[in-house]
Amino acid sequence: MASSPPKNTLNSQQPSSITRPPQAVKFGRRTSSGRTLSLSRDYDMDVHGDYSSGQNDYIDYTVLMPPTPDNQPAGSSSSASTSQSKPNANQGSKTGNKMERRLSVMKSNNKSMLLRTQTGDFDHNRWLFESKGKYGIGNAFWPDDIDNGEGGVSMSDFLDKPWKPLTRKVKVPAQVLSPYRLLIVLRLVILFFFLWWRVTNPNEDAMWLWGLSIVCEIWFAFSWILDILPKLNPINRAADLDTLRDKFEQPSPSNPSGRSDLPGVDVFVSTADPEKEPPLVTANTLLSILAVDYPIEKLSAYISDDGGAILTFEAMAEAVRFADYWVPFCRKHDIEPRNPDSYFSIKKDPTKNKKKPDFVKDRRWIKREYDEFKVRINGLPEQIKKRAEQFNLREELKEKRIAKEKNGGVLPPDGVEVVKATWMADGTHWPGTWFEPKPDHKKGDHAGILQIMSKVPELEPVMGGPNEGALDFTGIDIRIPMFAYVSREKRPGFDHNKKAGAMNGMVRASAILSNGAFILNLDCDHYVYNSKAIKEGMCYMMDRGGDRICYIQFPQRFEGIDPSDRYANHNTVFFDGNMRALDGLQGPVYVGTGCMFRRYALYGFNPPRANEYNGVFGQEKAPAMHVRTQSQASQISETSDLESDTQPLTDDPDLGLPKKFGNSTIFTDTIPVAEYQGRPLADHMSIQNGRPPGALLLPRPPLDAPTVAEAIAVISCWYEDNTEWGDRVGWIYGSVTEDVVTGYRMHNRGWRSVYCITKRDAFRGTAPINLTDRLHQVLRWATGSVEIFFSKNNAMFATRRLKFLQRVAYLNVGIYPFTSIFLVVYCFLPAMCLFSGKFIVQSLDVHFLSYLLCISLTLILISLLEVKWSGIGLEEWWRNEQFWLIGGSSAHLAAVVQGLLKVIAGIEISFTLTSKASGEDEDDMFADLYIVKWTGLFIMPLTIIVVNLVAIVIGASRTIYSVIPQWNKLFGGIFFSMWVLTHMYPFCKGLMGRRGKVPTIVYVWSGLVSITVSLLWITISPPDEVSGSGGISV
């Protein structure tokens, strides 16, 4: 070693010179003892070629590096520094002293030894490589022996994950949204100039046509503005389920066991008639809820049977028994969807992405069990009737025996009268409605029923064993959530307020039994398609600012719709367009199902923070005054009243504090608990009105008899007397569309809502594909909108807490049915033009055609961009346009008439329940599509079609045989008539049925309309040449 030339290592330094070439640096490392080793000697390499000398040689890899101070970390560029820091292999005995000196340098306050001689700056490179802090300081490596001062920082302080939000907004790309807004402004300008030109250029030859068309066009422009303005700010949202799990379901100092800290959720399912809403459909919905991916001890399910039918009761009991196997099976194999009927109907390979070897065996067994379950459900009606007959026969024989004993062994001459009751399996009378209606046991007159069919689950997981009904559930939690059957009391003389009253009864009962901070309501035919949907919704409620959110609305998705979606049943333009745009304002409207509410907001309280929007267009934003804090709002009692200084006389009545919840003190005590549990987690300084972590880890108390008795008492028909239920608290009464009104009242208090579109559909349901059923459904919605327009819930009377564009959206909800009046008139205008030979303008000049072209082009471009940012298809958009005209000329017009009759004459409106049952033809799932069920709603669309067809024939004949044919007016009339007929094409297909045969009534009606219209037109406008008595030609 002494005779060999010295080897330069990474720590070796040579004086730098500008004229010298870059020196060679050999890679090496210094051990803890101070000895320098070359990295080239760490491995034995077999070198061949010119460098081979017949044995294994060790060679050094050399790298050329410029001699700058930055790449010479062991010292500065000066020779003094170099000589001071240059190591030698023979100085191994002095290594310990050198290391101590280095550490003493780092620990001393004198930084002069670490200053670069050239610049006088602190030499970070020397500190890094000549101390044990070889990687510096940071969250990748932090030396244990560094003097941290008073902070006491260590590597463990960097192991905690940084705070992350649970949700984020995803804005629509500017290259789509900016042209969209620009085109809207451009079309508004064009519409203004077009209408101004139309008003200032009347048609002197046909003033009546000109006047009708002007009125209709002005209204259409106004209606379009109401529809398009709320769409100016569409947004998308995304939730982070991983962050939710890290915050609420992982071990932490406040939650050492890692038990879920999420709030409770109560799921409501409403049904009313087992004949129109089959119990098998409701049972499958219940099974999908019980198997949802949410903490079992935090989830509760409730079924509201407003008909009090024993068939629904028995079906739910069967469903709970089947859930003991279905729910653990779903957890074990991660099944999606968790509705068994939908799962077993999937056409794709069921074994895809299933890793457990016993999946096929388990699936085969559970499929067999489900088939038997369906047989039992479908056989319940007959079984219950046979049971009732047997028990009634037994009671009849018993009464006859008693009568004989009293009458000396002979039956009385009048016989024995026995009530034909409906019996339960345990031999007791069913307290609800009977097959043969009797007093206290018929629709609208029966006792309240509350049955807890699945008890409150234990706090700790209950693991299954290897032989759980032929299934191996080892390591699988076999608990199922609590489930209760509820049927509120009904008595004659009480207004039970339809579905809204049933929902409010469940709100009170669930508050006493489980008191979940959030409520998810579903229709009986809407099942959970995404088992993580509740968690995704919870991300928004538990995120920063989530305490201001009153509900999370999920889009409605439907199954069983015909592939062409003839009647726009998917309604994607509304759910993916309008609702997504409202999410950029104050939030989407409540649409009746698939909505997760904050229980505290349902009770009518104000949000913890709200804003007021002043000015003509709400451009002046300011914090709302007189907003009660949560602590103030929670201190409620039935006798409490507001002080004059906290409730000024100028306040809107909708902004007061709810006071009258009924006479149940147990219920009122649950209100502040629900408010506290619904607060977001206070894990960041930006979280306002939060709760500490680990506050929801305590188990729920077990249910006892007094608690259940109190829950039964709050669903009695008299409980809501002299209370604010239905007026301010809970679902709002007074409209057939109670959902829209309930959401509006929350927004009016300053609450916000969120539209949650999940990657996998959250819920799926069914929709009527028959034309008659579809029109009746639209009729009910439109009638509710008319009621809203003529009530105090009209958006024109809203508070200043409602944003301007949100107010416009709610105003459109109440106004859109009235468009049908102008739409029907405009559909007849082309026929009138063809009949009269006139047109809505003097002539088809350049001005009219230019305006028409610009308006049409801007509308097409706006629609294309709307399709782009909403994600809907062009065919879906076109189907929506077609059904807008079909529904507008039939159901909307009838809704206006019915609404006016109710407002003016007080005539109540009753609607039949939309059937959820499938068609009788099991081989064709779209059999209902071709069924023709005549209704009065067909009259107006059919009249429009016939009149336009007759007008085309008459107009063409007149022009062809005219001395001076006016082809431009003919083509103008035919063009608009064809526009009407093209939109009516789905209606015509619906009338023709499966084989394309037109019903006889259509021919009869067409003939009557044609003859009537022809005679009427001849009377109003006789031919140009009429021979008078004097032979004078006119």
By annotation, the residues acting in catalysis are 306, 739
Contact between 750 and 610 (Cβ < 8 Å): yes
β-pairing verdict for 482-487 and 449-454: antiparallel
Q: Give the Cα separation of 992 and 931 in Å (integer).
A: 9
Contact between 263 and 247 (Cβ < 8 Å): no
Question: What 3 state SS string does 1012-1023 have?
Answer: HHHHHHHHHCCC
Q: Give the Cα separation of 750 and 548 in Å (integer).
A: 8
Q: Give the Cα separation of 54 and 48 in Å (integer).
A: 8
Q: Give the Cα separation of 38 and 89 in Å (integer).
A: 12
Kind and range of the H or E run holding 270: strand 265-271
According to DSSP, residue 797 is labeled G
For the beta carbon of residue 1008, count every other beta carbon within 10 angstroms: 12
- R_g of the chain, CA atoms, integer Å: 39
- Tell me which residue of 506, 581, 531, 520 sits closest to 554, measured CA to CA: 520
Whether residue 179 is preceded by a cis peptide bond, meaning omega within 30 degrees of 0, is no
Dihedral angle sign, alpha carbons of residues 244, 250, 253, 255: positive
Q: How far is CA 313 from the centre of its chain?
A: 29
Contact between 65 and 71 (Cβ < 8 Å): yes
Taken as a whole, the chain contains a residue count of 1034
The Cα angle at residue 529 between residues 524 and 530, in degrees rounded to 5? 130
Contacts for 36 with CB less than 8 Å, ≥ 6 apart: 9, 11, 28, 29, 30, 87, 89
* Beta-bridge mates of residue 596: 520, 552
Q: Give the Cα separation of 308 and 573 in Å (integer).
A: 37
3 state DSSP class of 944: helix
Write the DSSP assignment of 72-133 as a string of letters.
-TTS-SSHHHHHHH---GGGGGGHHHHHHHHHHHHHSS--GGGB-TTT--B-HHHHHHSSS-
Q: Which residue has the tokens 């009991």?
A: 317
Contact between 745 and 601 (Cβ < 8 Å): no
3 state DSSP class of 485: strand
For the beta carbon of residue 968, count every other beta carbon within 10 angstroms: 12
For the beta carbon of residue 872, count every other beta carbon within 10 angstroms: 19
- Tell me which residue of 605, 591, 587 sits closest to 678, measured CA to CA: 605
Q: Give the Cα separation of 372 and 188 in Å (integer).
A: 62
Contact between 970 and 839 (Cβ < 8 Å): no
Q: Give the Cα separation of 967 and 956 in Å (integer).
A: 9
Contact between 523 and 269 (Cβ < 8 Å): yes
3 state DSSP class of 468: strand
CA distance from start to end of the chain: 135
φ and ψ at 633, to 5 degrees? -70, -30
Rounded to 10°, the helix 771-789/874-888 angle is 70
According to DSSP, residue 20 is labeled S
Token pair for residue 541? 């409620």
